[in-house]
Amino acid sequence: MKEILLCKYGEIILKGANRRTFEDVLCKTLRFRAKHFGKFEITRSQSTIVIEPLDDAADVDGMFETTCRVFGIVGVCRCAVCEKNMESIERTVRSYIPQFLTGKKTFKVEAKRSDKRFPLGSPQIAAEVGGMILSEAPHLRVNVREPDVTVHVEIRERGAYIHAGQCKGAGGMPVGTNGRAMLLLSGGIDSPVAGYMIAKRGVTLEAVHFESFPYTSERAREKVFELARILARYAGSFNLHVVSLTHIQEELVKNCEEDYFTLILRRYMMAIADRLAGANDCGGLVTGESLGQVASQTMQAIGVTDPLANRPVFRPCIGLDKEEIIQIARRIGTFETSIQPYEDCCTVFTPRHPRTRPEIEKVIEQQNRLPFAELVEEAIGTDQVSRIRAEF
Closest to 310 in 3D by CA, of 341, 265, 279, 345: 279
Confidence at residue 17, expressed as pLDDT on a 0 to 100 scale? 84
Query: Measured between alpha carbons, how far apart are the two ends of the chain, in Å?
Result: 27
> Residues 59-111: pLDDT tens digits?
999 999 999 999 999 999 999 999 999 999 999 999 999 999 999 999 999 99
CA distance 274 to 10: 33
Percent of the chain with pLDDT over 90: 77
Q: Where are the domains of the chain?
A: 2-168, 180-388
> Residues 130-168: pLDDT tens digits?
999 999 888 999 999 999 999 999 998 889 999 998 899
What's the CA angle centered on 335, arms 333 and 338, to 5 degrees? 120
Q: Indicate the fold that domain 180-388 takes in CATH.
A: Rossmann fold (3.40.50)
Q: Give 347's pLDDT tier (boundaries 50, 70, 90).
A: low
CATH for 2-168 is 3.30.2130.30
Confidence at residue 344, expressed as pLDDT on a 0 to 100 scale? 67
Q: Give 14's pLDDT tier (boundaries 50, 70, 90).
A: confident
Mean pLDDT of 263-281: 96
CA distance 259 to 253: 10
Confidence at residue 348, expressed as pLDDT on a 0 to 100 scale? 60
Confidence at residue 50, expressed as pLDDT on a 0 to 100 scale? 93
In sequence order, the β-bridge partners of residue 182 are: 206, 285
Helix (H, G, I), strand (E, B) or coil at 392: coil
CA dist list (Å): 283 to 261, 278, 310, 312, 370: 28, 8, 9, 7, 29
> Residues 292-340: pLDDT tens digits?
888 778 888 898 899 999 999 999 999 999 999 999 999 999 999 999 9
Lowest-pLDDT choice from 96-100, 356-360, 380-384: 356-360
